[in-house]
Structure 1
């Protein structure tokens, strides 16, 4: 694979991204959707059309899109095509600088896709870049809970799907990758706070959009050999971000689960509440590229959840 992992923030020009096409199964009714913790029934044909819209939006922006399930064996695909959450690739791994750290599923339902994708990544990357053993001490580590702020700091939520023990287990890998601080927040355990990126997101350089309730939460700052506490806004200010607090979130996934294509451009859902992007002078300048992912969002994840950035310029 001609992929060169390099991610030091959430907003530099996106060059390469990994995705996975949706499952071939329908989620036929509200009762089953509730059992699998989805928001609504999903038609797989519509979901596949939505995914193609998203992939085309990425390609139109000049991004190299790698659909990892096209590299799986026929034997692996028998099971993999039936994994309804497989489209949410963000959780599988994270590029910290030039290293890729594998995640660990926070629910048993998602474990098969983690194993399958990690075995594939093992073939794609050398041991120095990606070690399949690096999650051996992790119990629950889903990277929808991680924001790479800049070359100094990352921001992680210890919540429903990511444990504090797992954060402790990977912190030396993060420091070794070149980062000096890990900010850890502990958000409420609720369906609408499943991952950090359902509550906040970096909006280009120096602007961070967050639900207003988060202003009340302290952040534990882990450093090599030390730690301290700071409120969330102070932590983000410390790393050059102005926080835009918002109460305008009407759809948790569509509104805030967007992807930075470059410092000026966001890939957003057609369902997103665009009033959010008019609430601050810097946000008004953003170019918004809209794609219809409504059917996919019924699974409880959005555009950011469905994309795993590998390389940013």
Structure 2
């Protein structure tokens, strides 16, 4: 493995992973702002950090190198000597391409060290931080009671979504909601300029400069040539077709994409909140995504010389599709909450299906999902449960909080 990104399965032993330690951004907003920022609650930062440190420690204890988004971002900006252009782009994407507010924010942020600047952008900039009265129409005409010039980014600790490792490359994603769209600029900067990644043969299968939406929680690497991608609240069918064309034509090694349609709602926002791979023939699944008789719409894409660049085959039997494409005779689909409608709904809300495999049959889960965890153990899996009272308030579990960079091949 020569590439700094190498992920050809969901379950190969985890060797390197990208995290973001929760910071000021997860408390730097009010209940009135929660819908705007895609949160349902405001976590208590000291405990969230303690829980996240526990998560990172578990990964390190099990052989994974833990890298941090905030640190890599600052290092990349300095290595590329791109502090000013990075800041200009971040300001433009925050709504300030020019004008007096742009100038005040630019001067304020540029005066900081690079790490301080990155941390401050992530945390958000309140209006009372700067001794400045805007004269441009954009700032003067907006709601004067709104407390921020630049919104905090509380979703950043879910590093899975802004980018997704695929083989020896990645997708850098155009995200669905404005609250998260700036996040992938950090990953784009890291790939371009950080010495660990820049000029190291990392392929960008799809960049962030698109109108169609895709997020990493919907992108699952089932084996060295098969992906599953959710058609979800956060990922559109046209984006799946686009990345499929790129993967099929750019020598990625992937020749099969299984698109899986899931309910488009906040409780099931990504495929990995309802379906994850945890062993060669074992998956977690939330019963709520399956219709009568266990049916769910899937479309399997394969390369073709036709005008579209791929063929599409529709099916409603997920088990049959997985068996066929993964060449398995049997599957073990393990239901969240043991299939009990009340327990499954509760544990699904707290990401009972969002398991992170760190080796075949070894998973990291939230300790609060004790019914699902016990069922996983009964199915022969090793379950390492982590603290979860505050992290879970962000509606994302261990898989959401991690972007694998390197896994061992199976």
Check whether TM > 0.5.
Answer: yes
Residue 160 of structure 1 contacts residue 189 of structure 1 at CA under 8 Å; is this kept in 2?
Answer: yes
- Decide which moves more: 68-77 or 251-260: 68-77
Find out whether 1:297 has 2:392 as its counterpart. Answer: yes
The CA RMSD measured in Å over matched residues stands at: 2.3
Query: In the TM superposition, what are the counterparts of 1:50-69 in structure 2 within 5 Å?
Result: 50-69=51-70
1:202 corresponds to which of 241, 264, 277: 277
Counterparts of 1:104-253 in structure 2 under 5 Å? Answer: 104-123=174-193, 124-126=197-199, 128-131=201-204, 134-137=207-210, 139-175=212-248, 176-212=251-287, 213-214=289-290, 215-225=294-304, 226-231=311-316, 232-238=318-324, 239=326, 240=328, 242-244=331-333, 246=335, 247-248=339-340, 249=344, 250-252=346-348, 253=350
How many angstroms apart in 2 are the aligned matches of 1:184 and 1:34?
Answer: 28
Query: In 2 relative to 1, CA 122–133 (structure 1 residues): closer, same or farther, beyond 3 Å?
Result: farther
How far residue 133 of structure 1 moved from its aligned partner, in angstroms, is 6.5
Cα offsets for 1:252-298 (capped at 9, x unmatched): 2331112111113111111123445537xx85321111210321110
- Cα displacement (A) at 1:200: 1.0
Unaligned stretches of 5+ residues in structure 1? none
Could you tell me which residue of structure 1 aligns to residue 99 of structure 2?
none
CA contact (8 A) 1:144 1:197 kept: yes
Please give the secondary structure, in 1, of the residue aligned with 2:264: coil
1:86 and 2:156 correspond: yes
TM (norm. structure 2) is: 0.70
Distance 1:109 1:268 in 2: 27
Number of residue pairs the alignment of both structures matches: 310
Instruction: Determine the C-alpha separation between the residues in 2 that align with 1:192 and 1:11.
Output: 25
Higher Cα Rg, which structure: 2
Q: Which of 90, 114, 118 is 1:76 aligned to? A: 118
TM-score (norm 1): 0.91
**2:386 counterpart of 1:311:** no
Deviation, 1:135, is 3.6
The alpha carbon displacement at 1:35 in A equals 4.7
Contact 2:285 / 2:333 at 8 angstroms: preserved in 1? yes
- How far apart are 1:115 and its partner, in Å? 0.9
Q: Which moved more, 1:303-312 or 1:243-252?
A: 243-252
The structure with the greater share of residues assigned to helix is 2
Contact 1:89-1:305 within 8 A present in 2 as well: yes
CA distance in structure 1 between the partners assigned to 2:204 and 2:319 by the alignment = 34
Distance 1:168 1:283 in 2: 38
Contact 2:219 2:228 in 1 (8 A): yes
Rate the CA distance shift 1:61–1:117 in 2: closer, same or farther, 3 A: same
